[in-house]
Amino acid sequence: MAAALTRGQGRRQRSSRQNFETWAWFFMRITGIILFFLALIHMYIMHIENDVTHTTVSFVAKRWANPWWKLFDWWLLVLGLLHGGNGLRMIIDDYVKKPFKRTLTKALLYVVGSGLFLLGTITVLTFK
């Protein structure tokens, strides 16, 4: 009886950090599966169905005239950045031991990731 009570109390005492890491782990699995299929579709269309030497600005403009392709490429960009950024965050947690260096490295990761997201989103939205 006491063991069951102890086990139940342990569940209530989970830290928010553990919950975040659990969701981050789950996010990596889901985005990995989605990215696998998005990348397969992208590779087929851009490298098998169409010759790479014929990929020009006019080809991209014609493709991005359809909002669904813009959305497809934007999701590929966003999920790739989030998946890769989360993976790098985990690597930083594992290998950068000093708290100040870890904070600085993560800040650099977030700034670069946010900048790439912003530039990619602007490109997808404003390309004509």
Confidence of residue 83 (pLDDT cuts 50, 70, 90): very high
In the numeric block, the tokens 């989030």 are attached to 82
pLDDT at position 52: 87
pLDDT at 119 over 90: yes
* Beta carbons of 102 and 92 less than 8 angstroms apart: yes
pLDDT at position 99: 96
> What total number of domains does the chain contain?
1
Is 32 a member of any domain? yes
Residue range(s) defining the domain that contains residue 27: 21-126
* Beta carbons of 72 and 117 less than 8 angstroms apart: no
47-85 CB burial, b ≥16 within 10 A, e <16? eeeeeeeeeeeeeeeebbeeeeeeebbeebbebbbbbeb
Is 11 a member of any domain? no
Mean pLDDT estimate for the chain? 89
Is 65 a member of any domain? yes
H and E: helices and strands count for the chain = 5, 0
* Nearest partner of 45 among 28, 66, 29, 24, judged by Cα: 66
Note the helical H segments in 44-98. Answer: 57-64, 67-95
Is 90 a member of any domain? yes
CATH number at residue 99: 1.20.1300.10
Report residue 24 as tokens.
């981050």
